[in-house]
Amino acid sequence: MRMTSRALKAYLLAIIGIASLTLLIGFKEKPTPSFELQGTISVAHRGASGYAPENTMAAFQKAVDHGMDYIELDIHLSKDNQLVIIHDDKVNRTTNGSGYVRDLTLEELKKLDAGSKFNPSFKGEQIITLEELLDTMLHQIGIIIEIKEPEANTGIEEILADLIKQYNNTNNVIIQSVNFESMKKMHELLPKIPVAVLVSRAEHPLSSHQLNEIATYATYVNYNIRYLRPRDVEEIHKRDKKVMTWTIREPRKMRKALNLGVDGVITDYTKWIVENDHMGRK
């Protein structure tokens, strides 16, 4: 049956009205299941990035509100050597700007909108510096700092170490990277701060020799959940080290991680976690 022009107009207006109402209400959070972690560390991937724009203060605050143990974040160097929190080497995907982070000053980065692409209700969220995050949340929640592309961010390890040294209590800070040599350097610069190596497909499987070498400087061996096997967890634990797994975005992956007996899970969906189930709740 064909619609009359009047009926079609009424239908289109109704659709527009529903869409507008959705924008006014804001982002509707995805319904998710609950999992009891029974002491396993819970980590909010780029903050509570399933519910707020990744790596923004809004996402980090939601992680705190949801009772997570740690937030995980990514750092790059700006053109003027400021440690800024963003995942990609370019600003294109998450902001209304374009270009490489390393080609933009902090002042230029601060002018970008880092929230609207996630949802218009987050318009005005900014790219923030690691220093701003530490000043605000260091004593509220654990913080995992991932160094992105250290080979393209010359001197980032020394700059990060200098910043960390400015704070008195950093017991809840962990530093990680896919670049093993960078983590070896971080251990030398900050021997009291735990470091983690990220194991992706390119490094899997790790040999016994590699694990023995990693064990000399890393506290955590953090694995992509796709490639993590019971044997990997066993070998890591055998060396008195811990394993966290990333990134949990599906219930079946969460079940796999917990069945493997990992020490921590890194997830976008922080509301999956039963709030009163953590060990060492701050």
Q: Which residues are catalytic?
A: 45, 87
255, 225 Cβ separation under 8 angstroms: no
Q: Is 39 left (phi over 0), alpha (psi -120 to 50) or beta?
A: left
Which long-range CB contacts under 8 A does 87-93 form with residues at least 24 apart?
87/46, 87/54, 87/55, 87/148, 89/148, 89/149, 89/152, 91/127, 93/117
Nearest alpha-carbon partner for 150 in 182, 175, 173: 182
DSSP-derived secondary structure letter, 40: -
DSSP-derived secondary structure letter, 111: T
In three-state secondary structure terms, 112 is coil
> CA 17, CA 119: separation in Å to the nearest integer?
17
For tokens 């950093």, the residue is: 170
Q: Which amino acid type is present at position 43?
A: V
Express the helix, strand and coil content of the chain in percent, nearest 5 each: 35, 20, 45
- The strand pairing partners of 222, in sequence order, are 198
145, 73 Cβ separation under 8 angstroms: yes
For tokens 């350097």, the residue is: 185
> CA 181, CA 179: separation in Å to the nearest integer?
6
Question: Between the CA atoms of 182, 183, 187 and 189, what dihedral angle is there, to the nearest 10 degrees?
Answer: 30
193, 174 Cβ separation under 8 angstroms: yes
